[in-house]
Structure 1
Amino acid sequence: MTAFELTLEQPVTLEMTGKFVAPSAEWVHLSRILQDYELIVMTEGVLYLAGDNQKFTVSKGEYLLLPPLTRQYGYKPSDCSFYWLHYQAADGSLAKTNPPQPGGAEDPVIHLPQYGTLRNLEKIIVMMKQLQDSVRSYNHTVLNNYMSTVILCELYNQTRNAGADPSRRTKQEQLYNDIVDYIKWSRSEHIKVSQIAAYFGYNEKYLSHLFTVISGISLKQYILQQKMELAKFLLTDTNQNVSEVSQQLGYKDCHNFMKSFKKIVGLTPTEFRNAYAKRLLFYK
């Protein structure tokens, strides 16, 4: 697996960032030689993009990282949208094969896999939107460089150990991960703990206790947190009004949604949306 070494002793240098929306289903990515690193985070559709002689198919929830001097070109039409980030790494990060296992918490070097699936797409997108808002609102170079570095660190944390052998995980850990996945794909529904327990065939109290021991928070609280993560994404990346967001999350009463959002996030949905309102949108 190809990965890129990044030293965290100083931040990367942000060159450009934005969101791209394909103008039509026939759009094909332009051909060029990259002068810096480009991170692409897919939000909709599929991107057919080549880097030198390697062809990538990048779908929603996945990302691609290409290094400087890569010959980049689209090899077939792509009806898609994605966030992108161009940056320079002062240490001249090198491509590696089979990167070493993560070091300790104080290790100043991380390895970013070139391609992968994100465990929390919405969180990355909110961070990308916050960066874009900062670029438009303040355009403070050092601040933007650090915010870009934090995004890369989040990418690293979401992908580390992604290829771990499932056979090494205990039965309880596997069950916990299955519950997490179930909640992730059911966030738009009115999920109850009893519903999850029935689905997996376990006692409700046992399942709640197991989840709390492993995650540190209750199953009910985790469900609420995940709904609010999706809400932040919808408020950040779409033009849906608060009532529409509430309905998409399975709330019958918009007031209850706003109350829950305020409790978890600390801002009302409207305040959160207005705090990071300045997206950079590109169509070419």
Structure 2
Amino acid sequence: MTAFELTVDKPVTLEMTGKFVAPSAEWIHLSRILQDYELIVMTRGVLYLAGDNQKFTVSKGEYLLLPPLTRQYGYKPSDCSFYWLHYQAADGSLAANGGLTMTNPPPPPGGQEDQVIHLPQYGTLRNLEKIIVMMKQLQDSVRSYNHTVLNNYMSTVILCELYNQTRTAGADPSRRTKQEQLYNDIVDYIKWSRSEHIKVSQIAAYFGYNEKYLSHMFTVISGISLKQYILQQKMELAKFLLTDTNQNVSEVSLQLGYKDCHNFMKSFKKIVGLTPTEFRNAYAKRLLFYE
């Protein structure tokens, strides 16, 4: 797998960022030679994009990272939307590595493991909404402050989050313990059921375990209770909907399985520290592009 090595002792340099929405179902990505790195994070539809001689099909929840001097072009119509980030790295800090094994990357020289991350060129995100909220915060920073150093560090944090979301994606399931497998299954179940009114008893019944045992096991592994994790995941999705859609608070509440909008607003304020409206207004300066 092609991957990119990034040394994070210094921040990358942000060039541009924004959100793109295809103006029609017939839109095809333009042809160009990239002058910097481009990160694309898909939020809707499918993007048919080629880098040099390799063709990529990038769907919602997936990302693509292309390096400078890549000949980039669309190879078929793409009805989609995505967030994008163009950046450059400090001198020599980012380099392509063909065939790098992501589950066991080689340690950097000099014992500086914590300063180097490896980013697969293409993959699936474990938490799309979190990445989107972070990219929206970066866009808000660009429009509100336009402070170069701040924007560079925020861009680097996004890349570090990308690394954290992908570094264990290729782990061998046979190496995981039975409890770890169960924990990951529960996390996936919650992720795909966030729009429903989920209860701990419902999860326990689904997996065939005692409710008390399941709650204790989850708390030991994650450090928070199962009930609290469910609430946190619902609020992560709420933050994404508030920043990336024009749905009103009542619509967001219904989409998360709340019958009472007041209960949703109360839970959101408790977890996030802001009301849903305050959160949306804090990151209202979206950068939207249609070309």
TM class by shorter chain equals: over 0.9
When residues 77 and 86 of structure 1 are mapped into structure 2, their CA distance, relative to the original with a 3 A threshold, is same
Note the residue ranges of structure 2 that are not aligned, 5 or more in a row: 94-99
Q: Contact 1:6 / 1:91 at 8 angstroms: preserved in 2?
A: no
- Report the Cα distance in structure 1 between the residues aligned to 2:244 and 2:111, rounded to whole angstroms: 35
Which shows bigger deviation, 263-272 or 103-112? Answer: 103-112
How much is the aligned-residue C-alpha RMSD, in angstroms? 2.2
Deviation at 1:92, TM superposition (A): 3.0
- Report the Cα distance in structure 2 between the residues aligned to 1:161 and 1:230, rounded to whole angstroms: 22
When residues 102 and 153 of structure 1 are mapped into structure 2, their CA distance, relative to the original with a 3 A threshold, is farther
Q: Deviations over 1:1-55 (max 9, x none)?
A: 1111111111100000000000111111000000000000000001000000001
Q: Contact 2:28 / 2:76 at 8 angstroms: preserved in 1?
A: yes
- Report the Cα distance in structure 2 between the residues aligned to 1:120 and 1:64, rounded to whole angstroms: 15
Q: Partner of 1:216 in structure 2?
A: 223
Q: Contact 1:102 / 1:160 at 8 angstroms: preserved in 2?
A: no
Deviation at 1:109, TM superposition (A): 1.1
Q: Partner of 1:148 in structure 2?
A: 155
Q: Contact 1:29 / 1:74 at 8 angstroms: preserved in 2?
A: yes
Deviation at 1:107, TM superposition (A): 1.8
Percent identity of equivalent pairs: 95
Q: Contact 1:4 / 1:95 at 8 angstroms: preserved in 2?
A: no
Q: Give the SS at the match of 2:268.
A: helix
Q: Partner of 1:17 in structure 2?
A: 17
Q: Deviations over 1:206-245 (max 9, x none)?
A: 1111111110111000000000000000001000110110
Deviation at 1:162, TM superposition (A): 1.1
- Report the Cα distance in structure 2 between the residues aligned to 1:101 and 1:200, rounded to whole angstroms: 42
Deviation at 1:102, TM superposition (A): 13
Q: Partner of 2:96 in structure 1?
A: none
Q: Deviations over 1:113-172 (max 9, x none)?
A: 101111110000000000000001111111100100000010011111211100000111
Q: Give the SS at the match of 1:231.
A: helix
- Report the Cα distance in structure 2 between the residues aligned to 1:96 and 1:173, rounded to whole angstroms: 20
- Report the Cα distance in structure 2 between the residues aligned to 1:208 and 1:71, rounded to whole angstroms: 51
Deviation at 1:103, TM superposition (A): 11
- Report the Cα distance in structure 1 between the residues aligned to 2:92 and 2:246, rounded to whole angstroms: 39
Calculate the TM-score normalised by the size of structure 2: 0.94
- Report the Cα distance in structure 2 between the residues aligned to 1:109 and 1:5, rounded to whole angstroms: 7
- Report the Cα distance in structure 2 between the residues aligned to 1:264 and 1:118, rounded to whole angstroms: 23
- Report the Cα distance in structure 1 between the residues aligned to 2:181 and 2:102, rounded to whole angstroms: 31
- Report the Cα distance in structure 1 between the residues aligned to 2:103 and 2:174, rounded to whole angstroms: 24
When residues 79 and 273 of structure 1 are mapped into structure 2, their CA distance, relative to the original with a 3 A threshold, is same
Is residue 205 from structure 1 mapped to residue 212 from structure 2 by the alignment?
A: yes
Q: Partner of 1:43 in structure 2?
A: 43
Deviation at 1:101, TM superposition (A): 9.5
Q: Deviations over 1:160-200 (max 9, x none)?
A: 12111000001110000000000000000000011111111
- Report the Cα distance in structure 2 between the residues aligned to 1:223 and 1:237, rounded to whole angstroms: 21
- Report the Cα distance in structure 2 between the residues aligned to 1:192 and 1:90, rounded to whole angstroms: 48
Q: Deviations over 1:57-115 (max 9, x none)?
A: 10100000000000000011111000000000113349999866999896211111101
Calculate the TM-score normalised by the size of structure 1: 0.96
Q: Give the SS at the match of 1:72.
A: strand
Q: Contact 2:66 / 2:121 at 8 angstroms: preserved in 1?
A: yes
When residues 112 and 198 of structure 1 are mapped into structure 2, their CA distance, relative to the original with a 3 A threshold, is same
Match of 2:114 among 102, 107, 112: 107
Q: Contact 2:102 / 2:167 at 8 angstroms: preserved in 1?
A: no
When residues 188 and 12 of structure 1 are mapped into structure 2, their CA distance, relative to the original with a 3 A threshold, is same
